[in-house]
Amino acid sequence: MTTLYDKVREDLLEKIRTGAYPEGETIPSEPELAQIYGVSRATIRQALQILSDDGYVEKRRRRGTIVTKPKVDQSFTLEVSSFEDAMRTEGRLPRTNVILFRAEIASEEVARKLGLSGKDKVYKLVRLRYVDDQPNVFVESYVPCAPYPGLDGYDFNEESLYAAMDACGE
């Protein structure tokens, strides 16, 4: 059974997606929406809270509720898949900026977490990932050097770490 706030949320979301309420614009106030939909302000508040939690709107004091660009779904981080593939699936434009890439002796913590000895080398890859030209996530990755000879020959601004590891892994 669909609740009243779900019906309101779905209708508001459709208006956001179709541009009736464009990004950056203020939507009608809670009392106005309550009147438009014929429901209580509590119902409107619940619908707006869900839209806010999902990143479609942002409540601003003295300004009202503003339509925003939806948040990037980070559920892809729960599985091994490429950031680029996950973003493209969502219709978003991913980009990577490599800040640092070098081979170094694994720190004690990194060695312990990767099951290496304290003298093993790792590739340290630090990247800033963008979605639709907005900074999205800062990623620091460590990959053991021994099983991936030649990994240092890749340009991770352009190429996927997973694809490179697959290509040069033993």
Domain housing 93: 75-168
Do 125 and 152 belong together in one domain?
yes
Do 153 and 126 belong together in one domain?
yes
Q: Whole-angstrom Cα distance, residue 35 to residue 86?
A: 40
Whether 83 and 42 have beta carbons less than 8 Å apart is answered as no
The pair of three-digit structure tokens given for residue 53, joined into one six-digit string: 């939690």
Do 14 and 96 belong together in one domain?
no
| Total domain count, the chain | 2
What is the domain-level CATH number for residue 32? Answer: 1.10.10.10
Do 129 and 159 belong together in one domain?
yes
User: What are 18-48's pLDDT values in tens digits?
Assistant: 889 998 899 999 999 999 999 999 999 999 9
Do 108 and 149 belong together in one domain?
yes
Do 84 and 54 belong together in one domain?
no
User: What are 82-135's pLDDT values in tens digits?
Assistant: 677 777 777 888 889 999 999 999 998 899 888 898 789 999 999 998 988 889
What is the domain-level CATH number for residue 130? Answer: 3.40.1410.10
Q: Whole-angstrom Cα distance, residue 123 to residue 165?
A: 11
Which positions ≥6 away from 138 have C-beta within 8 Å? 126, 127, 128, 129
Among candidate residues 42, 67, 92, the one where a domain is terminated: 67
